[in-house]
Amino acid sequence: MLGTENLAVFVGSGILLNLFPGPDTLYIIGRSLSQGKTAGICAALGISTGAIVHTLLGAFGLSALLATSAYAFTILKYAGCAYLIYQGIRLFTEQVQRGDATDGKLSRAGLRRIYRQGALTNILNPKVALFFLAFLPQFISFSSPNKPLSFIVLGALFVTTGTIWCLVVAVFASSLSRRLRQSDVMSNRLRKINGGLFILLGLKLATSKIAS
């Protein structure tokens, strides 16, 4: 009815892929370590939103442009690279007083910014779009009467398992750094580490190729 096949294999493979740390996981860990559980959860939800966008784009064929057009891939790649490096520099240079950017103290605007950054970090990564295009269609039945719907169903399953894992990562990472964040010096050091991580991810994205 859903036009999918081998769902058990798909879910199992998706879980294993989510367990492997990538840029999204590192972003969540960085936010959780430097700003606490609430920030980590917002980052995780932002990442999941980005994955939903990639699912919809893939279902309706728009992401296929990235697989066939080196020009489109390059534009999105450098946009993502610039965004990551910009955010990394901001995190690296900002100085925050104790408690100003930790659990219970983050403003709604701050939480929205973390969520938005998570979403854009994922959306502006062309390799995520190519992954969805390469992975999900393998589990769509050839006889599916509505292949875009089948793609969306598989994407929803993948996003669900991924979100659960990301939330676990956020809670666990924040619990490890709770005491460290009580110190102004350590809190700002964690932010600098997070900023440096963003810059490295941006530089790594800049070296990615469409054939990857």
List phi, psi (to 5°) of 129: -60, -45
Give the integer Cα–Cα distance in Å for 122 and 38: 19
The pTM is what?
Answer: 0.75
Per-residue pLDDT of the chain (212 residues; tens, 9 = 90+): 577 888 888 888 888 888 776 778 888 988 888 788 899 999 999 999 999 999 998 888 776 776 677 777 778 778 878 877 887 787 777 665 554 455 556 778 888 989 998 998 888 888 788 888 888 888 888 788 888 888 999 999 999 999 999 999 999 888 877 766 665 666 667 677 767 777 877 787 677 665 54
Structure token pair of residue 114: 């973390």
- The full set of domain ranges for the chain reads 37-206
Give the integer Cα–Cα distance in Å for 177 and 193: 13
